[in-house]
A and B are shown apart, each in its own frame.
Chain A
Amino acid sequence: MLEAPVVVAAALFYLGLLFAVAWWGDRRADQGKSIIANPTIYALSMAVYCTTWTFYGSVGRAAVSGIGFLPVYLGPTLVMALGWFVLLKMIRIVKANRITSIADFISSRYGKSHLLGGLVTIIAVVGIIPYIALQLKAMSGTVSLLLSYPEIVMPSRSATMSVAADMSFYIALILAAFTIVFGTRHLDATERHEGMVAAIALESGVKLVAFLAVGVFVTYGLYDGFGDIFEHLATHPELRHLMTAIPSGQGYTGWFSLILLSGLAVLFLPRQFQVAVVENVNEAHLKRAAWLFPLYLLLINIFVLPIALGGLLHFSGQGVDADTFVLTLPMSQRHEGLALLVFIGGLSAGTGMVIVETIALSTMVCNDLVMPLLLRHKRQSLDESKDLSGVLLGIRRGAIVGILLLGYLYFRLAGEAYALVAIGLISFSAVAQFAPAMIGGMYWRGGTRGGALAGLSAGFLIWGYTLLLPSFAKSGWLPAAFLTQGIFGIDLLRPQQLFGLTGLDEISHCLFWSLLANIGAYVGVSLLRPPMVAEATQATVFVDALKDTGKLGAVLWRGRAKVSDLQELVGRFLGPARAQSAFAAYARRQGRGKLVTLEADAQLVQFAESLLAGAIGSASARVMVASVAKEEPLSIDEVMHILDEASQLRTYSRELERKSRELTAATLELQEANERLQELDRVKDDIMSSVTHELRTPLTSIRAFSELLRDDPKMHLADRERFLGLIVSEAERLSRLINQTLDLAKIESGRADWNGCELDLKEVVEQSLAATSQLFREKDAHVDLDLPDNLPLILADRDRLIQVMLNLLSNAAKFLVQGAGRVSVKLRVLADALEVSVSDNGPGIRPEDQELIFEKFRQVGDTMTAKPAGTGLGLPISRRIVEHFGGRLWVESVPGEGATFRFTLPFADAQVEEAAVA
């Protein structure tokens, strides 16, 4: 099933599937139902990092240098740990300023400079071209391998063929067409491609599955597990070096440079910037991706070494290129299905990279290279055209074709001399040159346009001299003497031993010199002069991106512009309909139905500029907006003043927020305190009125009886005695009431005297019973006692406790029916307390009254008919006494069946312990 038509059909079917997914993704995005708003999809899209380099090249690398293939995956792992900070900041900056590419990012940071944007674009394009060549080499190599099946024939050198007969040329064209359809169907102000991301995520899944399938096949099909492969190795001493010295051929320095290099690449490769920053849907996705993406890298690398060793052992001495082991191993075993799966996996890895990379590059070429040139030289015709969106798309499509053809050219010129990984590393070293300007730009306010230009140029030149030109020399397109004797025969300028530096591999060598020159020039030139207006403004926007600087751009614009001019301008690049709807949406957001004003405010100008920036880059957008608005330039002093003011304002507003929060809290507390006071006041009034009422009742009786006695001197002796008896008992009641009121007041105010000592509760209960026995005898009641001996002691005031018991017992006696009363008094030992219960068989208490009776002056029962028999203070006082000693007093009752009052008091030792703890 590996005949040419099947292979081609499978490839086309797969590309069609990708296209369908992308189309679906775009459609869902238009409906607002994004399918990529998911951290896992985001992490998978980041895995576009794994290209055919990983899919085929890692095995080739491993076959030469053992685990030397790994550092390029360890670097990204480490960087993702910092991604939470660096990527988050990049995402914020990009979203706030509608930045669409690295070139735009750097140009925007250093004062929206056309020159800088162009330079970055050139570096990116030149730097990435070898990387694209790598994909072409891998893909065309695998196609020709498959087509020679069942033989395994290494692909012949393309350089010897005519272009028309070279398959890689057609693959490049197909890829260009595919990318154009994918990425440039329409122009979007934000340059986001949801469908593309969905397809990339799918491709990442496919390539992982395909690679794991081969891995399992080789490890467990051809051999008997990891151990078995390594055991076989013992019989091949010439391969032992792969297993021990890690850095065979590169040293620990080389190992470290690859980690650093890949860490920078994963941030600054145009395609990584595209998927991780520009296409990010929600910055919260970064969290999950921070570990999912490294996990993906780990998984796709587990079987690399087994496949490499398996291939070396299997094809020993047959001249099979290790870069093809992933495909040739299944082919040699006649596993046609697996071979086809591998081919599709490799296709995924290659197309994914090419699509995203060329889209990202084409955006750069259009916005930062071609547009500025057009603006400068063809301004006249640009100004005449009403709708330029078609022109923009045309430029991008042209750029895509151009980039792929350049990739093909490099492949023809230099591709054959290098293994896949070596080609990729050349590109990595190129994009690493963006690091100083990018990182410096995000964290250092002092970086200037001049510094960035100098740094980038220096780094790029040294990269070209120490890596790119040698790659041509090694392929024979430049004289070999260039390598061995240096340019013009100057020994010190040998490109790979620059200034006589030896002992480093070519990547470390290039990285050291280029980054040294880059950082040195960037910092050095930046320090020559203070930042200018535009640089200082943008520095603040970028460095303070994580703070709230949303309106800064608007603050720093002063001038006059007409709304209609702005809308027409945006319409020329985005199409009039899109501009119309964008402006309408803006008006809605501002809470206005329509933009009726003729004069645009600074914020609207800022909005229009950022819309344009998405389509033509921030530098060009600046120029275009300036052309329709009458702007008043601000001096550097003014700008610095405004920036200072803005940051001071931010500090003030934070301070203000804090103060207002505190104030709210204080107000709330005050309110509560006030309510408490009012409540207390009300309670006091209640008590006063209750007390006076309670006092008046006995006083009235005393007065009435006294008047009767005074007014009727002839009253019978028996009546006289009865009245005098009533007067005495009412007076007693009165004094009892006064005493209890004073008592309660003392307890409540905390001024009561408590004489706490260890007591035997049983003794107290018995003493109280003795004092009240007369009451029960009068009612002819039966008293049951259940008072065990040897109880633990409790801590309380004896007299107070007797007061409680007397109160409960007299209450019980009060409600007994004459002659049929039963009272039972029980003492029980609980876990950490004693419980006393006093039960009677009186009328009981209704459930709704069971808490009321513990309130002051509340006597329940039918107060209309029955004269209250107590003061209404006994139970509240008792409860307070019990609670004072750490116990509880409550009542249980079923109306009609009597009531049981219970109270608990904790053991003396428990209380002591508690006191000790406190």
Chain B
Amino acid sequence: MQRRILAGDRLIAAFLVGCVLFNYPVLSLFDRNSEVFEIPLIYAYVFVAWAFVIALMAWAVERRVR
């Protein structure tokens, strides 16, 4: 039961992190005319943030709670 509660809390945390990362105003911080590794910043940012949120979710549900 404990384990379920913890995994659930982690998923909610991932949801909230995603809500912040994917929306204004954090998003606007990256809406600039610059590039990382020749890729436009906003494009790179959205995909990295997206992958990060997915990784968080995977961690939340797959990890065994000790």
Contacts and interface: CB of A to CB of B under 8 A. Distances in A.
Interface of A: 66-67, 70-71, 74, 77-78, 80-82, 84-85, 226-227, 230-231, 243-246, 252, 255-256, 259, 287-288, 290-291, 294-295, 298, 302, 305
Given A78-B15, A256-B23, A305-B43, A298 B35 contact: no
A287 B61 contact: yes
Contact of B11 (A71, A256, A290): A290
Interface in B22-41: 22-24, 27-28, 31-33, 35, 37-40
A255 B35 CA distance: 22
B59 to A, nearest CB: 9
Given A81-B12, A243-B40, A298 B51 contact: yes
Contact of B31 (A70, A230, A246, A291): A246
A746 to B, nearest CB: 47
B18 A81 contact: yes
B32 A295 contact: no
A291 B55 CA distance: 8
A70 B42 CA distance: 12
B22 A78 contact: yes
Given A70-B46, A244-B31, A305-B43, A81 B57 contact: yes
B14 to A, nearest CB: 5
B35 to A, nearest CB: 7
Q: Which of A67, A71, A81, A252: most chain B CB closer than 10 A?
A: A81
Given A77-B50, A78-B15, A298-B47, A255 B27 contact: yes
A71 to B, nearest CB: 8
Contact of B50 (A82, A227, A256, A298): A298
Contact of B28 (A243, A252, A287): A252
Given A66-B43, A298-B50, 13 more contacts: A67-B43, A78-B53, A84-B7, A84-B8, A226-B39, A230-B40, A244-B33, A252-B27, A252-B28, A291-B55, A291-B61, A294-B53, A295-B54
Contacts of A244: 31-33, 40, 42
B57 to A, nearest CB: 4
Given A230-B35, A259-B23, A294 B40 contact: no
Nearest to A74: B22
Contacts of B38: 226-227, 230-231
Interface in B48-66: 50-51, 53-55, 57-58, 61-62
Nearest to B22: A74
Contacts of A246: 27, 31, 42
Q: Could you tell me the dominant secondary structure of chain A's interface residues?
A: helix
A244 B18 CA distance: 21
B57 A290 contact: yes
B57 A82 contact: no
Contacts, number: 97
Instruction: Give the bracket for the number of chain B residues in contact with chain A.
Output: 20 to 34
23 contacts: A66-B43, A67-B42, A74-B18, A77-B53, A78-B19, A80-B57, A81-B53, A84-B8, A85-B11, A227-B38, A230-B35, A243-B33, A244-B42, A245-B31, A252-B27, A259-B23, A287-B7, A287-B61, A288-B61, A290-B57, A294-B54, A298-B50, A305-B43
Nearest to B30: A246
Given A226-B38, A231-B38, A82 B15 contact: yes
A230 B54 contact: no
Contacts of A252: 23-24, 27-28
B57 A243 contact: no
Contacts of A256: 23-24
Contacts of A287: 7, 61-62
B37 to A, nearest CB: 7
Given A227-B38, A290-B61, A67 B19 contact: no
Interface string B1-18: 000000110011011001
A227 B27 CA distance: 22
B21 to A, nearest CB: 9
B42 to A, nearest CB: 5
A227 B37 contact: yes
Nearest to A294: B54
Contacts of B51: 298
Contact of A227 (B23, B39, B55, B62): B39
The 3 closest A-B pairs by CB, nearest first: A227-B38, A81-B15, A252-B24
A651 to B, nearest CB: 17
A577 to B, nearest CB: 41
Contacts of B32: 244
Contacts of B50: 74, 77, 294, 298
A824 B31 CA distance: 88
A132 B66 CA distance: 48
B19 A291 contact: no
Nearest to A82: B15
Nearest to B53: A77
Contacts of B46: 67, 70, 74
Nearest to A295: B54
A306 B32 CA distance: 19
Contacts of B28: 252
Contacts of A288: 61-62
B14 A81 contact: yes
A309 to B, nearest CB: 10
Contacts of A70: 46
Contacts of A302: 47
Contacts of A226: 38-39
Contacts of A295: 54, 58
Contacts of A243: 33, 40, 42-43
A226 to B, nearest CB: 6
B32 to A, nearest CB: 7
Q: Which of A78, A255, A256, A287: most chain B CB closer than 10 A?
A: A78
Contacts of A80: 57
A195 B15 CA distance: 33
Contacts of B11: 81-82, 84-85, 290
Contacts of A227: 37-39
Given A67-B42, A230-B38, A230-B39, A259 B54 contact: no
Given A244-B31, A244-B32, A252-B24, A78 B18 contact: yes
A74 B50 CA distance: 7
B37 A291 contact: no
Q: Which of A70, A71, A291, A295: most chain B CB closer than 10 A?
A: A291
A294 B50 CA distance: 9
A255 B18 CA distance: 14
A84 B15 CA distance: 11
Contacts of A67: 42-43, 46
A42 to B, nearest CB: 13
A290 B60 CA distance: 10
Q: Which of B18, B19, B42: most chain A CB closer than 10 A?
A: B18
Contacts of A66: 42-43
Contacts of A77: 18, 50, 53-54
A304 to B, nearest CB: 10
Nearest to A83: B11
Nearest to B19: A78
A255 B57 contact: no
A655 B30 CA distance: 54
A486 B11 CA distance: 46
B31 to A, nearest CB: 5
Contacts of B62: 287-288, 291
Contacts of B23: 252, 255-256, 259
Contacts of A81: 11-12, 14-15, 18, 53, 57
A307 to B, nearest CB: 13
B64 to A, nearest CB: 12
Contacts of B47: 298, 302
A302 B28 CA distance: 21
A74 B57 CA distance: 14
